[in-house]
Amino acid sequence: MARRKWNILMVDDDADYAASLKPFLEAHLGRILWAETPSQAEDILDDEKIDLLLLDIMLDEPDAGLRWARELKAAGRLDALPAFILSAADERFGLDLKSKLDEPGYCPARGFLDKGTAPTEIAAHLEKFLRSQRS
């Protein structure tokens, strides 16, 4: 059994995608909590210590995840909690998130990963980031 390292909250309304990725990430990174909506995620954030927020942009509305991340940033909830975008929404949809990461008022996430990225690359990228936060 994998040693638990981190608590990661994945917010994604695509249950099939989340179900396929969650066990793999748990095996490599630690405990993965999943929420389909920002409301469910808020409850988890209130009850759990989360090390990383992994967030889809397109939830119930095309930019609901990005708007919710902006609300979290404005409320100070992302000061100690890094957010990463894991989404298929990027330049193809008119969003330039990769070049505007952590830019005030635009994208409060510290990283962007495309949903088409292989799970091994997702895990490696997130682990590298999380390890850098421990130093």
pLDDT in tens, 22-57: 998 999 999 999 999 999 999 999 999 999 999 998
Average pLDDT over residues 118-127: 92
Answer yes or no: is 21 within a domain.
yes
Q: What is the side-by-side strand order in the sheet with 6-11?
A: 30-35, 6-11, 52-55, 83-87, 111-114
In the predicted model, what is the mean pLDDT of the chain? 85
CATH at residue 35: 3.40.50.2300
Q: Is residue 135 part of a domain?
A: no
- Mean pLDDT along residues 69-93: 83
37 lies in a domain? yes
Range of the domain at 22: 6-129
d(CA 24, CA 48): 21
- Residue 82 located in a structural domain: yes
Phi, psi dihedrals of residue 34, rounded to the nearest 5°: -125, 140
Q: How many domains does the chain have?
A: 1
pLDDT (0 to 100) of residue 34: 96
What was the pLDDT predicted at 134? 67
